[in-house]
Amino acid sequence: MLFGLAGVLPAGELRGVWVARDSLGSREALQRTIERLADANFNAVFVNVWSRGYPLWPSKVFERETGISIDPEFRGRDVIAECLEFATPLGLACVPWVEYGFVAGYSGYHPGESKKGPVFDRHPEWLAQTRSGQDAFPVSGTREFFFWLSHTNPEAQAWLIDMMVEIATNYKVDSIEFDRARYPQLDCGYDAVTRALYAKEHDGAEPPTNPADRAWLRWRARKLNDFVKELSRKVKAVDWRMTITNAPITYPYGFEMFAQEYPVWMKEGAVDYASPQIYRADLATYVRELDNNLRFVEDKSRLVPGIDVTNSKSAEILIDMIKATRERGLPGVVIWYYSGVVGTGSLEKLKETVFADKAALPWRSSQINAPN
């Protein structure tokens, strides 16, 4: 599906970077970010548009369930429109990065009356839960909590998908990246709706009390697989040229710990390409993890690894990782994340070395032939 529906890989290399919330403080900050990336010969900017339980674009779908259209600190703005305004003339693809995925509330940021996020003020029945009924999932390194949507609740799923369709309908973007299509931990999936669905499919039985039960893990993974496939189907019904991507946790760890099974998404065409988070601090462990993930992927032309420069803290190691990626014939990289690229002085060194020349994207709406 990706890189030309005719099945031919056009020449090019995806050179992407995730632009997080810390670079979105103003229109001017985003413009400067995109200009610097273009000058360094990047060709795709993955800009955060779903953060802390709020959209960073005016969303009528979000407003429908919350009475609020946009993140309170982004009123009067539209990050997707701004990204397109600044990136398109410079030849960069603007990819709306739906960072929070199933996370729809954060205790540390405008958590609403419920203290769990505005959508849960109106829909507490949409909350994901543990075996004990807890719905607050710790945020690593903080005293705060994330609140996740129930992964199998059809109303919650439809709401998320409607927001993705809204993006596809209202903005001329080539791709959408929907992240956190996973469980926060294995002890999750015990909300009333999920329990009822499981019972319906298992002759009235309750889900296993052991969160790591193999059949229970497999069942939850299949439901997530179905969700990602439906999201892709609905978005492509708006524009069949739109590519769907995700930055999953590495496999098989992501499956064993979070019921995330991205090789199945790729095999079934639910995502056009994936950027597994090969976030390693040195070249040897990066190569080892990358090669391990390639064992589970049938079509390597659709794997664009994610690299973490903030982990290695070295432009030189980042460059070596990009070289190793090219040696494996992969169609590009996406780097976590812009502030780390700047902080390590990587922009200049990339342009001097592996990004010395500009590169065409290996996918683009205008490059893809219509299906037969």
What would the pLDDT profile of 171-222 be if each residue is shown by its tens digit? 999 999 999 999 999 999 999 999 999 999 999 999 999 999 999 999 999 9
CA dihedral (14, 17, 18, 23) positive or negative:
negative
Q: How many residues does this entry show for the chain?
A: 372
Q: What is the mean pLDDT of residues 64-68?
A: 97
Global pTM value: 0.94
| Choice among 114-118, 121-125, 310-314 with the minimum mean pLDDT | 310-314
Q: Say if residue 43's pLDDT is above 80.
A: yes
- If 0-12 CB within 10 Å is exposed, 13-18 middle and 19+ buried, where does residue 292 land? middle
Q: If pLDDT is split at 50, 70 and 90, which confidence band does 11 have? A: low
Q: If pLDDT is split at 50, 70 and 90, which confidence band does 2 have? A: very low
Q: What is the mean pLDDT of residues 154-162?
A: 98
* Domain residue limits, the chain: 14-367
Q: What is the mean pLDDT of residues 99-117?
A: 97
Class of domain 14-367: alpha beta
Q: If pLDDT is split at 50, 70 and 90, which confidence band does 285 have? A: very high
| DSSP state for residue 92 in the 8-state scheme | -
